[in-house]
Structure 1
Amino acid sequence: MKKNIFLTTLLAISGILSAQSGPMSFGAKGGYTLSSMKYFGENLDSKSYFYVGILAEKPLSSKFSVQAEVLYTQLGGKDSYPGVQLVGNEIVSVGDMKFDYTLHQIQVPISAKYYFIPNLSASVGMNFGFNISSKVTSDTIFGEVSGESDGIKTLNLFPFLGAEYKITDKFFVDARYHFNFFEANKSNAVPTKIGFLQAGVGYRFK
């Protein structure tokens, strides 16, 4: 199922990029991902990681272009609760219980870009996040335990807004914010939403 969805998305990207004539540029990019997770409506502590991947951009005119990418990153959040234990008739603190939620993802962002000037553009698009694995790690008085989380959807959707600035013809910097409009869990029984910021640098091959 995961392979079928991924292949369908790649075919759609190929169709978009080949629909118009014009020179296509390719490149690589990498940077910083800062994600925030809502679990049962409560904001968890942010989780940071890197992202790395490749891109292809095709101009449709002097002002508009379409860009597709394939990236690897991790999303998630962290939480902690005070741990207590009943000792005799007293409730004794035993330290914090910590939980770390991690989603390993292959992401396929597709965006429409508008160039205000040749070096500065704004973008809007959709990021298709394919989960490779979803894990939760707990650290309590009983030790650290890690296991798979089966509740996360195979495909997560993240609409985004972004901006890019070309430092030279080859090097650029960009930033995007991905909104948590869609549930990440398969069932609303455990409401889970994720939003994240990505900022980094890239290199276009000429």
Structure 2
Amino acid sequence: MKKLVLTAIVAAAGIFGAQAQANSDLVKLGVKGGVNLATVTGDDFDSPDSRTSFNAGFVAEVPFSERFSVQGEVLYSGQGFDAVRVDQDNFLDNDENIEVQLDYIQIPLLAKIYLVEGLSVSAGPQIGFLVNDEIDYKPNSDSGDIDIDGALEPEDIDISLAAGLEYAFDNGFFISGRYNYGFSEIIKDVDVHNSVLQFGIGYTFK
């Protein structure tokens, strides 16, 4: 499945690039940002609480027709989950959650269909590159960070599917909601996958 999705991303990126070059005057470029509600799912994890983080990045939309576009993005996406606190001899004796932080550069490539003017649905494959992995047992301060690379062995690449809704206003602003589900095991030899809700706003320059 991961090879199939990766092949689809590469093929779609080629088509996207060719169309963008042909329709350079019609390409919409923009920025976006918002909130992530991230957790993980799988047989080896019992639905941990969501980690609240953020996403931010760049957007490029290439129209193929009045109703259909392809949209590519490059986003920084804070993911992971809130872990269950285990207090051993007061080592972690405070009221804060423990955050397992898995942060990615995500590159979705989405087919986008306009249902009516301004309102669109989109779906497509996404590849993520892990850029930060740590446990933070004091998430409300600047301390408490522990590198987890040696302990949990998180995978460097995450293949996922993204799908969502967007509404674009005439002045260039837009609002969006999206769900991302990961096909990849994010921790080596453990059945656990990313599951992320994203809500945000953005602006396209033309």
TM-score, structure 2 length as denominator? 0.78
Query: Which residue is equivalent to 2:3?
Result: none
Per-residue CA shift, 1:22-43, capped at 9, x if unaligned? 3211111111111012372211
Shift of 1:84: 5.3
Shift of 1:144: 4.6
- Counterpart code for 1:200: G
Identity %: 29
Whether 2:119 is the aligned partner of 1:115: answer no
Which of 22, 28, 45 does residue 41 from structure 1 map onto? 45
Whether 2:17 is the aligned partner of 1:17: answer yes
Which of 58, 75, 84 does residue 79 from structure 2 map onto? 75
How many residue pairs were aligned?
Answer: 186
Shift of 1:63: 1.0
Query: Which residue is equivalent to 2:6?
Result: none
Shift of 1:183: 1.6
Query: Which residue is equivalent to 1:88?
Result: none
Distance across 2 between alignment mates of 1:11 and 1:130: 19
Query: Which residue is equivalent to 2:104?
Result: 105
Whether 2:170 is the aligned partner of 1:168: answer yes
Shift of 1:203: 0.6
State how 1:56-75 maps to structure 2 within 5 Å.
56-75=60-79
Q: Is the 8 A contact 1:75 1:104 kept in 2?
A: yes
> Comparing 113-122 with 95-104, which one deviates more in the overlay?
95-104
Structure 2 residue runs of 5 or longer lacking an equivalent are: 1-8
Q: Per the alignment, do residues 153 and 82 of structure 1 end up closer, same or farther by CA in structure 2, a change over 3 Å counting?
A: closer
Shift of 1:102: 0.5
Per-residue CA shift, 1:138-174, capped at 9, x if unaligned? 57xxx95612324111110120211110122411111
Shift of 1:133: 2.1
Structure 1 residue runs of 5 or longer lacking an equivalent are: 1-8, 86-91
Query: Which residue is equivalent to 1:192?
Result: 192
Which of 32, 37, 43 does residue 35 from structure 2 map onto? 32
More strand by share: 1
Per-residue CA shift, 1:105-152, capped at 9, x if unaligned? 11111100001112111001122111012112357xxx9561232411
Query: Which residue is equivalent to 2:161?
Result: 159
Q: Which has the larger radius of gyration?
A: 1
- Counterpart code for 2:65: S
Query: Which residue is equivalent to 1:137?
Result: 136
Please identify runs of 4+ aligned residues in structure 1 that moved more than 6 A: 9-12
CA RMSD, Structure 1 to Structure 2 (Å): 2.8
> Comparing 122-131 with 143-152, which one deviates more in the overlay?
143-152
Q: Per the alignment, do residues 203 and 14 of structure 1 end up closer, same or farther by CA in structure 2, a change over 3 Å counting?
A: farther
Per-residue CA shift, 1:14-68, capped at 9, x if unaligned? 6523236332111111111110123722111110111111111000111110000
